């Protein structure tokens, strides 16, 4: 059946174009053709010339020919590719047993206690799943059960996951993935959108209030406001902080809950705190985490205020065969070990500052760079055709991304216009990696910016 949806095109920054397949090396062509024959719908490769990796360590990946690439893109291997402590912990557990949450596990309880100790005291219950999508799906189920509402508020180009439920409030998936009729969109916290004489807090409060009013007008009581602490898909907006309190006040006044999606902004990614929401001095009702929790193994989590989750637990059956089982818990516990042993948060803070300062210096005179923004090791560089109009320049962004890839440095793109360079390395990124990145970026900027 032909429909508007079937003709829609999925949004995907920096996507490989299969039309140029014949220009690739023979072996790569063959693998991609075989891949196309056997993989299901929706898969895509990135970069104009896709790349195959065979090993990794820290913030580095090695291709089949032995070339070293600096990974400034992949956040999921949180403490670094193939971190030996995580590898050893998982290997040891695999050689012993993998048992699920229906059986007593000291390791699960120990891990939950350690993880919850990094949160405000009000957030004291942990459920474990396998992915950020599952975590956000469960969070929304609990929010609906607790509030009796259906209405959801997210930012205009947000991404929260791929289950049918979560895709319904992930506008970045594009027109081929329709939003639910119970979903309303608000601006990301971009200070440039604030009217003269107003504040960002006032602007965001008004956005939330307007969304709640429109939901109620259409018969939807509010269930939840969901935001990603880095506004990753909206274009990376981490500063200034402080506006979130006003948004949450409006949500609570309407009977809803606030869900902090920390899949990308959590685990000290933003440097100043373990969790992105903490930078704002607020306490969410629900917090979700994704696979960085286990350095890439399928483990994710949802942390609740007990008054929000307890009745759901008494009334609704929830079980996840792999979520919370022995192997992913071993990986997650090993990640916390590394945070403690290597002082990861301080490393993120110091190297993030050096990275942003270097990028600001390199791009200061460019007419095509509207802004360098971010916090910790999450940085966005907004590329435009003209600084005054701020018209997005997707082509320029893809040129820069692929020039860097050709020089063996990996980043990608984000934002609705796919014109914001997304720099989001593993947290193993060190001072030498910062230097290499800046030197390589300066070469590309000289040609392109």
Count of alpha carbons within 13 Å of 107, Cβ hemisphere only? Answer: 21
Choice between 344 and 27, residue whose per-residue pLDDT is larger: 344
Q: Based on the number of CB atoms within 10 Å of its own CB, is 408 exposed (0-12), middle (13-18) or buried (19 or more)?
A: middle
- Band of pLDDT at residue 9, cut at 50, 70 and 90: low
341-373 pLDDT, tens digit each: 999 999 999 999 999 999 999 999 999 999 999
Q: Residue 1 above 60 pLDDT?
A: no
The 10s digit of each residue's pLDDT in 392-402 is 999 999 999 99
Asked if 99 contacts 439 with a C-beta cutoff of 8 angstroms, the reply is: no
C-alpha to C-alpha distance for 306 and 301, rounded to whole angstroms? 15
Q: State how far the Cα of 340 lies from the Cα of 334, in Å rounded to an integer.
A: 10
Pairing outcome for strands 151-155 and 257-261 = unpaired
Give the sign of the dihedral formed by CA 164, CA 170, CA 176, CA 181.
Answer: positive
Q: What is the pLDDT of residues 123-175, one digit of tens each?
A: 999 999 999 999 999 999 999 999 999 999 999 999 999 999 999 999 999 98
- CA-to-CA distance for 418 and 133, rounded, in angstroms? 22
Residues 6 or more apart whose Cβ sits within 8 Å of residue 238:
229, 230, 231, 265, 270, 276, 279, 373, 374, 375, 378
* Other residues' Cβ atoms within 10 Å of the Cβ of residue 198: 11
Q: Report the pLDDT value the prediction gives residue 108, as an integer from 0 to 100.
A: 98
**Does residue 306 carry a pLDDT above 90?**
yes
Name the strand (E) or helix (H) holding 445.
Answer: helix 431-448
Full DSSP string of 24-64? S-HHHHHHHHHHHHHS-TT---BSSS---EEEEEBTEEEET
State the pLDDT at residue 10: 66
Q: pLDDT (tens digit, 9 = 90+) per residue, 272-287?
A: 999 999 999 999 999 9
pLDDT at 5 over 50: no
Q: What is the pLDDT at residue 33?
A: 93
- Find the distance separating the first CA and the last CA of the chain, reported in whole Å: 46
Mean pLDDT of 295-303: 97
Nearest to 314, CA basis, from 142, 92, 445, 174: 142
pTM of the model: 0.96
- Has residue 7 got a pLDDT over 70? no
The pair of structure tokens assigned to 134 is: 């599952």
Round the average pLDDT of the chain to a whole number and report it.
95
pLDDT value of position 4? 44
Say if residues 398 and 16 touch (Cβ distance below 8 Å).
no
**Tens-digit pLDDT profile for residues 99-115:** 999 999 999 999 999 99
- Render pLDDT for 56-71 as a digit per residue (tens, 0 to 9): 999 999 999 999 999 9
């Amino acid at each position: 059946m032909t429909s508007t949806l079937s003709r829609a095109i999925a949004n995907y920054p920096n996507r490989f174009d299969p039309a140029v397949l014949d220009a690739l090396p023979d072996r790569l062509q063959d693998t991609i053709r075989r891949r196309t024959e056997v993989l299901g719908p929706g898969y895509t490769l990135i970069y104009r010339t896709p790349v195959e990796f065979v090993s990794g360590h820290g913030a580095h990946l090695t291709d089949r020919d032995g070339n070293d690439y600096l990974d400034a893109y992949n956040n999921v291997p949180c403490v670094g590719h193939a971190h030996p402590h995580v590898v050893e912990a998982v290997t040891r557990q695999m050689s012993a047993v993998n048992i699920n949450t229906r059986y007593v596990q000291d390791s699960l309880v120990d891990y939950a206690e350690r993880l919850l100790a990094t949160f405000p005291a009000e957030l004291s219950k942990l459920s474990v799943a396998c992915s950020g999508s599952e975590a956000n799906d469960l969070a929304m189920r609990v929010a609906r059960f607790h509030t009796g509402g259906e209405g959801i508020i997210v930012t205009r180009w947000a991404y929260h996951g791929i289950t049918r439920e979560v895709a319904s409030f992930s506008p970045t998936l594009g027109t081929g993935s329709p939003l639910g009729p119970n979903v309303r969109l608000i601006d990301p916290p971009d200070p440039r959108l604030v009217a003269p004489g107003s504040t960002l807090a006032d602007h965001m409060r008004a956005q939330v209030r307007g969304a709640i009013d429109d939901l109620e007008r259409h018969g939807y009581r509010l269930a939840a406001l969901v935001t990603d602490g880095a506004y990753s898909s909206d274009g990376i907006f981490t500063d200034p902080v402080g506006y979130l309190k006003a948004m949450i006040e409006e949500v609570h006044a309407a009977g809803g809950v606030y869900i902090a999606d920390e899949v990308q902004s959590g685990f000290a990614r933003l440097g100043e705190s373990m969790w992105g929401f903490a930078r704002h001095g607020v306490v969410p009702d629900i917090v979700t985490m994704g696979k960085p929790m286990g350095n890439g193994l399928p483990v994710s989590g949802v942390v609740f205020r007990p008054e929000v989750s307890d009745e759901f637990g008494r009334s609704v059956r929830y079980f996840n065969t792999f979520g919370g089982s022995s192997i992913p818990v071993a990986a997650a516990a090993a990640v916390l070990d590394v945070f403690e042993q290597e002082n990861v948060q301080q490393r993120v803070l110091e190297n993030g500052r050096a990275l942003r300062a270097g990028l600001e210096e390199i791009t200061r005179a460019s007419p095509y760079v509207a802004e360098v923004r971010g916090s910790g090791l999450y940085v966005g560089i907004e590329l435009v055709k003209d600084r005054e109009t701020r018209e997005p320049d997707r082509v320029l962004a893809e040129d820069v991304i692929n020039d860097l890839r050709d020089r063996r440095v990996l980043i990608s793109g984000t934002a609705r216009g796919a014109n914001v360079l997304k720099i989001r390395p593993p947290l193993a990124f060190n001072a030498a990696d910062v230097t290499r990145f800046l030197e390589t970026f300066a070469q590309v900027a000289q040609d392109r910016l």
